[in-house]
């Protein structure tokens, strides 16, 4: 089970970035995204609607105290912190079943570097928590389940093909 923690969500600044993090987490097989910072009901609703349309079981949960959350999770799961300061992700070998993947946040407090089992970078250049999460999850090659979907995309060379299963 792979879950994600997105630190320090700020309104309105991070609205779309965190929404994209949720979409990426879901699309590449994570089961849940926790976020700290400011609560964002609108974002939660957007994701809920998308899950309803495209299927699967993906949840978004707001957490008030990210430090307390880290301590609780630390006992149950391996923690991976994605940061451009970490070690090359290609060296990482997935051994455990459960991981919590942490992504920043403008300034990630030092405790997240210290308490994480792995500080992992996707290249040593600044880029984006959205792409870091996408590349890392794609690298992990998780099984993906998107059952009970209403909409289904049909891959196409030249067109937009989307099947509406509700109307069939």
Q: Which residues bind its own copies (CB under 8 A)?
A: 13-14, 16-17, 20, 23-24, 26-28, 50, 54, 83-88, 110, 113-114, 119, 121-128, 130-135, 138, 144, 146, 152-153, 155-162
Query: Of 65 and 94, which CB lies nearer to its own copies in the complex structure?
Result: 94
Structure tokens at 148: 């009970």
Q: Rounded to the nearest whole angstrom, what is the least distance from the CB of residue 69 to its own copies in the complex?
A: 20
In what helix (H) or strand (E) does residue 119 lie, and over which residues does it extend? strand 118-121
Q: Determine the Cα–Cα distance for residues 53 and 164; give it in Å rounded to an integer.
A: 9
Q: How far apart are CA 87 and CA 92, in angstroms?
A: 9
Using the minimum distance from each CB to its own copies, give the nearer residue, 49 or 94. 49
Q: Give dist(CA 36, CA 18) in Å, integer.
A: 11
User: Closest distance between its own copies and the C-beta of residue 89, in Å?
Assistant: 10
Residue 45 or 88: the one with the smaller Cβ distance to its own copies is: 88
Half-sphere exposure of 113 (CA within 13 A, CB side): 11
Question: In angstroms, what is the minimal distance from the CB of 63 to its own copies?
Answer: 22
Whether residue 104 has a cis bond before it, omega within 30° of 0: no
Residue 2 or 135 having the CB closest to its own copies: 135
- Considering beta carbons, is residue 28 or 99 the nearer one to its own copies? 28
CB of 159 to its own copies, least distance (A): 6
In whole angstroms, how close is the CB of 125 to its own copies at the nearest point?
Answer: 4
Rounded alpha-carbon distances, angstroms, from residue 165 to 47, 58, 112, 123, 146:
19, 20, 43, 40, 13
């Amino acid at each position: 089970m792979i879950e994600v923690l997105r630190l320090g969500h700020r309104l309105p600044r991070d609205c779309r970035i965190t929404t994209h993090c949720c979409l990426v987490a879901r699309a590449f097989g994570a089961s849940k995204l926790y976020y700290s910072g400011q609560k964002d009901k609108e974002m939660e609703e957007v994701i809920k609607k998308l899950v309803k349309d495209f299927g699967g079981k993906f949840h978004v949960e707001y957490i008030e105290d990210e430090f307390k959350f880290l301590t609780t999770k630390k006992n149950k799961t391996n923690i991976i912190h994605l940061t451009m300061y970490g070690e090359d992700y290609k060296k990482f070998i997935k051994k455990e079943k459960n991981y919590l993947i942490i992504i920043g946040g403008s300034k990630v407090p030092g405790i997240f570097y210290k308490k994480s089992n792995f500080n992992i970078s996707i290249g040593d250049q600044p880029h984006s928590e959205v792409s870091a999460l996408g590349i890392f999850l794609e690298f992990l090659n998780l099984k993906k389940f998107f059952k009970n979907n209403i909409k289904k995309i049909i891959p196409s060379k030249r067109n937009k093909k989307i099947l509406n299963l509700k109307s069939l």
